[in-house]
Amino acid sequence: MKLDRIDLFDIRQPDRLAKAIHTQIGDLVLPVPVEDIATALDISEVRTGSFDGFEGMLLTDQARRVGAILANTRRGLRRARFTIAHELGHFLLEHHVLSSENGFRCRAQDLKETREGRRHQKQETRANQFAIGLLAPFAAVDQYLSEDPDLHDAQQLRDELDVSLEACVRRLIEQRSEPLAAIWSKDARVRYWHKSNDFCFIQLKQGDRLPQTTQAFRVHAESRSGFTAFSESPPMAWTSSDDIEIFEQTRQSPSGHAVTLLWADKPGPDDLDEEPDPYHRELGEPGFR
């Protein structure tokens, strides 16, 4: 593989940088060959293995002439692929300030979704944005999206792109036009959530128990593995709004980890003064737009 770093100079936006690399590659190959890409962009060595104290490390100098990447495999090979892409982002985003005189040392929490706060956190967030843009370009995501939102699509993306299910759920939310949110939970307690900009405020926080009126809570209570179908959910259970319809779908693993996809359907201007439909029960659940 031949790539030209000169064409990547002065690109400061992570998504644009990832897109520029894919433009040079040409035909999309899945899963994205991240180690080959790193080697073609002056990374002299990519080493994976079981390491203590860090998730990933980039060894380089301020001039970024050459670099070496170490990626921890303790959390699995998919996580290591993301770590390689993350460290490559630090290497190519040349305005990133080295965290030590020898390069970057990234902990597990640095590779999670982070706050846009201090410089370090900003750099870690942007390295994450580059990594997902490189490993899951929207051109690849589009071909696996169904007509309506569906967690099955995220699982298929995981298998095709060889990245984590969490990353694929986030990518699905970012690419679709519908107001969507995802709630990650363990044993019926919220771990974190992610939403599109047009989804209303979510009032749950880390450690909160899932609302007992939701399908997601019942899935945990019944220890049900696999996927549910979408079902209507009480909007006030998730948000502070009662003037919307919310539908939820959950995927739970045998370990008790689950992700719940929320789909909001806000009433249009023609619905506000609509008379109640006496035939609603016979017609069944309302359809999605």
Which one is predicted more confidently, 267 or 132? 132
Q: Sorting pLDDT into bands at 50, 70 and 90, what band is 97?
A: low
Question: Which domains, and CATH codes, for the chain?
Answer: 5-135 (1.10.10), 179-274 (3.30.450)
The pTM of this model reads 0.81
Three-class DSSP category at 182: strand
The DSSP letter of residue 284 is: -
* 182-195: pLDDT as tens digits: 999 999 999 999 99
Three-class DSSP category at 119: helix
What is residue 2's predicted lDDT score, i.e. its pLDDT? 92
Q: How many residues does the chain have?
A: 289
DSSP one-letter string for 31-93: S--HHHHHHHTTEEEEEEE--SS-SEEEE--TT-SSEEEEEE-TT-HHHHHHHHHHHHHHHH-
Backbone torsions φ then ψ of 248, nearest 5 degrees = -130, 150
What is residue 279's predicted lDDT score, i.e. its pLDDT? 40
What is residue 58's predicted lDDT score, i.e. its pLDDT? 92
Backbone torsions φ then ψ of 257, nearest 5 degrees = -80, 140
Three-class DSSP category at 22: helix
What is residue 94's predicted lDDT score, i.e. its pLDDT? 75
- Percent of the chain whose predicted confidence (pLDDT) is above 90: 74
With a cut of 90, say whether residue 17 has pLDDT above it: yes
CB 27, CB 65: distance < 8 Å: no
What is residue 267's predicted lDDT score, i.e. its pLDDT? 60
Which one is predicted more confidently, 103 or 279? 103
Which one is predicted more confidently, 6 or 96? 6
What is residue 102's predicted lDDT score, i.e. its pLDDT? 61
What is residue 26's predicted lDDT score, i.e. its pLDDT? 94
For residue 251, what are the β-bridge partners?
227, 259
Other C-beta atoms within 10 Å of 202: how many?
Answer: 16
Three-class DSSP category at 235: helix
What is residue 35's predicted lDDT score, i.e. its pLDDT? 98
Other C-beta atoms within 10 Å of 240: how many?
Answer: 10
User: What mean pLDDT do residues 3-31 have?
Assistant: 94
Q: C-alpha dihedral over 80, 86, 92, 95, to 10 degrees?
A: -150
Tokens of 150: 């569906």
CB 51, CB 83: distance < 8 Å: no
User: What mean pLDDT do residues 68-88 have?
Assistant: 95
Angle (deg, nearest 10), helices 165-175 and 151-161: 120
Q: Sorting pLDDT into bands at 50, 70 and 90, what band is 120?
A: confident
What is residue 63's predicted lDDT score, i.e. its pLDDT? 82
Three-class DSSP category at 105: strand
* 261-283: pLDDT as tens digits: 999 986 655 544 545 444 443 44
With a cut of 90, say whether residue 31 has pLDDT above it: yes
* 211-237: pLDDT as tens digits: 999 999 999 999 999 999 999 999 999
pLDDT averaged over every residue in the chain: 87
